């Protein structure tokens, strides 16, 4: 009998808690990869590499240990009736593609139209960071950021644009350096009101003119 097929609905936090291998197992996996590449993990230059790689992975993928929606829970209602766009531009991030585990390096532009509540701007950057510090594809990451902000803040609208370079395309495969991928996700007023959308795109330099928009 075949094993049950895994679904995309699995919670990363529960996966980390319930199924995370030991550090020793992770280091042994790195040794195996070094041998598979054709080198000797016991030689001087590589003997400490498994430990260094595992420590690096702890930093690269710490987003699995955090809940972005929990980060967004602390909001402020004393906004004196402010209901215009809130935009945080050029949030730099480093992520890794889930297909080749190669770096994705880019920046995110995050905007929302508050209804009753606003949030500290550092929390918006933190949400981008949490989703970036997981194995990702850019389209999914764009939708996840927009969805989390929309679900928790329930604003009039949310707009996300991400611009990034993918090392799986520049360092392997087609070897095309200098290529940037642009994705966008518009919800609420940013999707339904062309003037609001144009204002946002103008403020971020209109990268979405060639974007892969996520419906």
Catalytically active residues are: 97-100, 138, 166, 168
156 near 80, Cβ under 8 Å? no
Question: Phi then psi for 46, rounded to 5 degrees?
Answer: -115, -10
111 near 86, Cβ under 8 Å? yes
177 near 157, Cβ under 8 Å? no
106 near 69, Cβ under 8 Å? no
Residue among 207, 211, 205, 200 nearest 84 (CA):
200
Q: Are strands 181-188 and 212-213 parallel, antiparallel or unpaired?
A: parallel
Q: 212: helix, coil or strand?
A: strand
SS3 content of the chain, % helix, strand, coil (to 5): 45, 25, 35
Q: Which residues contact 111 (CB under 8 A, 6 or more apart)?
A: 85, 86, 87, 88, 158, 159, 160, 190, 200, 203, 204
């Amino acid at each position: 009998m075949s094993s049950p097929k895994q679904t995309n609905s699995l919670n990363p936090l529960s996966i980390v808690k319930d199924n995370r291998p030991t550090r020793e197992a992770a280091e042994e996996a790195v040794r195996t990869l070094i041998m598979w590449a054709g080198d000797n993990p016991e030689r001087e230059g590589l003997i400490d590499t498994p430990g260094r790689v595992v420590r690096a992975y702890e930093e690269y993928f710490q987003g699995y240990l955090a809940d972005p929606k929990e980060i967004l829970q602390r909001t402020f209602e004393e906004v004196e009736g402010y209901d215009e766009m809130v935009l945080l531009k050029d949030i730099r991030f480093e992520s890794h593609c889930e297909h080749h585990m190669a770096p994705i390096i880019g920046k995110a532009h995050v905007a929302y139209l508050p209804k009753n509540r606003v949030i500290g701007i550092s929390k918006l950057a933190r949400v981008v960071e949490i989703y970036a510090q997981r194995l990702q594809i850019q389209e999914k990451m764009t939708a996840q950021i927009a969805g989390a902000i929309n679900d928790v803040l329930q604003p009039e609208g949310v707009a996300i644009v991400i611009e990034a370079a993918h090392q799986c395309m520049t360092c392997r495969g087609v070897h095309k350096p200098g290529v940037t991928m642009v994705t966008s996700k518009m919800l609420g007023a940013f999707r339904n009101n062309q003037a609001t959308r144009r204002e946002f795109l103008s403020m971020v330099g209109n990268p979405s003119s060639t974007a892969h928009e996520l419906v």
